[in-house]
Amino acid sequence: MRTTLVRRGADERLPPDQQTGRQRHVLPVVYREMMLQICADYHSLPDPLSLTMSQIRFFYDGLRPTLQKHTDPNSKPRTPRVPKPRRR
């Protein structure tokens, strides 16, 4: 399977299981994670159960840059801006 997931700010494949050595980067596991992510981020999706694999990839690829930015361990967290007190 060539489709990658976003991990630690980069596109990656899931590593094999440490105990059994079995491959975890398989279609059901990868597409399940992609589906969970797009359902969390796209609230107005059509019925998620009716999405095709290419539609799942389309929506996930739309999120990919944002996921890379927010999961990058080297990126600095954004400090919230404190509003200035209003004068009366």
Q: Phi then psi for 69, rounded to 5 degrees?
A: -65, -45
DSSP-derived 3-state class of residue 34: helix
Work out the percent of the chain whose per-residue pLDDT is above 90.
Answer: 20
DSSP-derived 3-state class of residue 12: strand
pLDDT band at 58 (very low <50, low <70, confident <90, very high): very high
How far, in Å, CA of 63 to CA of 61, rounded?
A: 5
Burial readout 2-11 (b: 16 or more C-beta within 10 A, e: otherwise) = ebebbeeeee
pLDDT in tens, 33-56: 999 999 998 888 878 889 999 999
Domain residue spans of the chain: 5-71
pTM equals 0.75
Q: Report the 10 Å Cβ neighbour count for 49.
A: 6
Q: Answer whether residue 78 shows pLDDT above 70.
A: no
Joined together, the tokens standing for residue 20 give 């059994």
